[in-house]
Amino acid sequence: MASKEEIFKELAEGVVEYEEDQVREAAQKALDEGIDALDAIMDGLAAGMEEVGRLYDSNEYFVPEVLMCADALYAGLDILRPHVPEEDAAGKGQVVIGTIQGDVHDIGKNLVKMMFDVGGFTVHDLGRDVPLENFVKEQLRTDSEIVAMSAMMTTTMLGMKKVIAMIKEKNPDVAIMLGGAPVTKDVVDLFGADGYAESAGNAVSEGIKMIGRLRELRQKEKQS
């Protein structure tokens, strides 16, 4: 009988080595052993994808590898996700995500989207080279708690500041997360965003923290 840690390791390694069959077998094994499906997703699949993100950042993996890793991740997700209890899946919230106008880089954005997906968020993906006002429109349409924008160039990054101003004016409660190579803590403070993600895995934990903060604010408003 495999231990929980061994199964998590098989899941993670299967994602990193893009072995879809290994991931499927390990996911099924996790269910057969009575391991919590959400734990298997987060400590197995997501942990593997974080390592993929690291390999991509250090230029050991390139886009084709990342896409194959993503296929392996989704192979496991298909098996595990139906077994995640409703209350765990429903409580996470919604996120609007996209790469800012003028920027066609989307591999980082897709990694972050995948992590939100894995984390149980409902994701509204606007794609890349997204006109600034579309972020605002989509947030209003979906009432999403988080808007996540990415930029890979300093020139396009300035568009984020405009989007933040437009969204905050219409809906000050939305949490705004930035990502991408030129984005730093200083940029986030300067633009008035709520957080930023250095890595895909970090984006999900940041996102969960943001939603926690928003929920607290909403509770206080209800009480006052």
> How far is residue 217 CA from its own chain's centroid?
23
Give the residue, 67 or 224, on which the prediction is more confident.
Answer: 67
Q: Which residue has the higher pLDDT, 63 or 219?
A: 63
pTM confidence score: 0.74
Distance (Å) of CA 147 to CA 11, 53, 125, 141: 30, 21, 10, 12
Give all domains of the chain, ordered by start, each with its CATH number: 4-87 (1.10.1240.10), 92-223 (3.40.50.280)
Mean pLDDT of the chain: 87
According to the model, what pLDDT value does residue 181 have? 79
Residue 41 DSSP SS3 = helix
Q: Report the amino acid identity of residue 189.
A: D
In this model, does residue 17 exceed pLDDT 80? yes
CB contact burial 54-80 (16+ within 10 A = b; e otherwise): ebbeeeebeeebbebbbebbbbbbebb
Highest mean pLDDT among 62-66, 101-105, 135-139, 207-211: 135-139
Per-residue pLDDT tens digits for 92-140: 789 999 999 999 888 778 878 887 887 778 899 999 999 999 999 999 9
Q: How many CB atoms lie within 10 A of CB 95?
A: 29
